[in-house]
Chain A
């Protein structure tokens, strides 16, 4: 398996523009997570899905952020309009299952480095 795939790897955009980040989880994984990493705030969970359904979006910073998972093999994180403070590395991760007896390992993608000018 190729692992979790994210695109683009780097994105530079101007304030006010729409940004769409893409993620392809590992086939067969039931859970998909979106994280944001900055020096100031560390690694923050934005939203996670189970079987394509958003379960917890309490980490989404504001209405400018939205995430979708139209099918088991694809998810998007959209920022509209983007602002300079959105500059960060955005990670997608997937997990086969989460339970008290499973390994609960999350597999991370390489990340998308977003710069908003």
Chain B
């Protein structure tokens, strides 16, 4: 069953704009990761945020985590056409060694 639900399912923006994707999950987590998947390719890890962290940055990426609301957001600033991809959140629960992936957000950045 799906742990994470991304919102929106699809997003289309102009190059240079910011893109925000949200992930909601159901159970308590140890950490949460974001992955990117280009069409026809495997997933690529972007960033990890732990349950005791509230915000992390990596380049043009900013991730927030609100454990009280069981939600996370991924912000991509100054988007580029190359950012066009699907983005997934993946949650990890203590006591297991597996990640549960969400349903994904399809981002399209128009040049």
Contacts and interface: CB of A to CB of B under 8 A. Distances in A.
B33 A42 contact: no
Interface residues of B, number: 23
Interface of A: 4, 31, 33, 35, 42-43, 45, 48, 50, 55-56, 91, 93, 98, 100, 103-111
The 6 closest A-B pairs by CB, nearest first: A108-B42, A43-B101, A105-B45, A108-B43, A98-B97, A42-B103
Contacts of A111: 41-42
The A interface, classified by DSSP as helix, strand, loop or mixed, is strand
A100 B42 contact: no
Interface of B: 2, 30-31, 33, 41-45, 48, 50, 88, 92, 94, 96-104
Nearest to B30: A100
Given A4-B42, A110-B41, A42 B101 contact: yes
13 contacts: A33-B98, A35-B101, A50-B97, A56-B96, A91-B42, A93-B43, A100-B50, A104-B48, A105-B48, A106-B43, A106-B99, A107-B45, A110-B41
B2 A42 contact: yes
